[in-house]
Amino acid sequence: MSDNIKRIIVPDSNRLAEKGAEMFCEIAKESISDRGRFVVAVSGGSTPRAMHGRLSQNPYLSDFFWQNTHIFWVDERMVDFDHPDSNFGAARKDLLEKIPIPFDQIYPMPVMTHPEDGAGLYQMTLKTFFQGIGSDDPVFDLILLGIGTDGHTASLFPEQAFSYPAQSWVISVKGGNPNVFRLTFTHLVLNNARHILFLVSGKDKAPIVQALLEDNTADLPAKNIRPLKGTLTWLLDQEAASLLF
């Protein structure tokens, strides 16, 4: 395993949420100390929700880093924010409504528009933000990812994960569960991050974790997460890691 890829295995999903919150806070403080801000992008799905819940409680709730945090989304389903499938809606309920983050530092993906237009709008949002902090590249301090049992990550699904213009930062796709239109970061953005953290829990993910971490022939979207300069950490509970050597 290359020296910028780490595995951390914890006993269960509760400890996964706690460890994820600890790492989120550590990277936030390191980023703010080094650059005066913490720029993070979160994924959807069910796994991160317990971590979001943990971050909404003390000691994290009352910590200073929220004032300097900018939060973006890795992907989003093109549904209303009040829809149960909305990634932003879930994060708003679990975390955003409870923490003292300035409203203008929360950047939800535009879902009430045509998918192609939404992708272009969010790509513009990213470019404007990063150029505003003096970066031509989308270098997030932390990107949180999950994986599907088919090896997808973000909303980059096996059947279409590589069929997009190479320089795109955000694309629209249709697929996944739920099978809806989505906006998603591309590998270009994901691999520019300073820290990528996969959160993976449960026995149903054990086969895909084994394929991604131990089968070099596997050509899957999550396999192509290789940070250019940053670190990659697989934070797994014991069930998800149960097929690893």
Decide: is 120 part of the binding site for ligand 6PG (CB under 6 A). no
Q: What tokens were used for 135? A: 């970066």
Kind of pairing between the strands at 38-42 and 142-145: parallel
Using CA of residue 154, residue 155, residue 158, residue 161, what is the dihedral sign?
negative
CB of 203 to ligand 6PG, least distance (A): 12
Q: Restricting to residues 178-207, which ones interact with ligand 6PG according to CB under 6 A?
A: none
Give the distance from CA 187 to its chain's centroid: 12
Question: Contacting ligand 6PG (CB under 6 A), which of 13, 31, 47, 192?
Answer: 47
Separation CA 122–CA 214 (nearest Å): 35
Question: Contacting ligand 6PG (CB under 6 A), which of 20, 65, 68, 75?
Answer: 75
Decide: is 108 part of the binding site for ligand 6PG (CB under 6 A). no
Decide: is 43 part of the binding site for ligand 6PG (CB under 6 A). yes
Separation CA 98–CA 16 (nearest Å): 21
Length of the chain: 245
Decide: is 20 part of the binding site for ligand 6PG (CB under 6 A). no
Q: Restricting to residues 145-174, which ones interact with ligand 6PG according to CB under 6 A?
A: 146-148, 152-155
Q: What tokens were used for 174? A: 């249709």
- Residues contacting ligand 6PG: total by CB under 6 A: 16
Decide: 144 and 42 in contact? Cβ < 8 Å.
yes
Radius of gyration (Cα) for the chain, nearest Å?
A: 17
Binding-site string for ligand 6PG from residue 76 to residue 95, where x marks contact by CB under 6 A and - marks none? -----------x--------
Separation CA 130–CA 243 (nearest Å): 40
Question: Contacting ligand 6PG (CB under 6 A), which of 5, 9, 30, 45?
Answer: 45
CB of 147 to ligand 6PG, least distance (A): 6
- Interface residues with ligand 6PG (CB under 6 A) are 43-47, 74-75, 87, 146-148, 152-155, 176
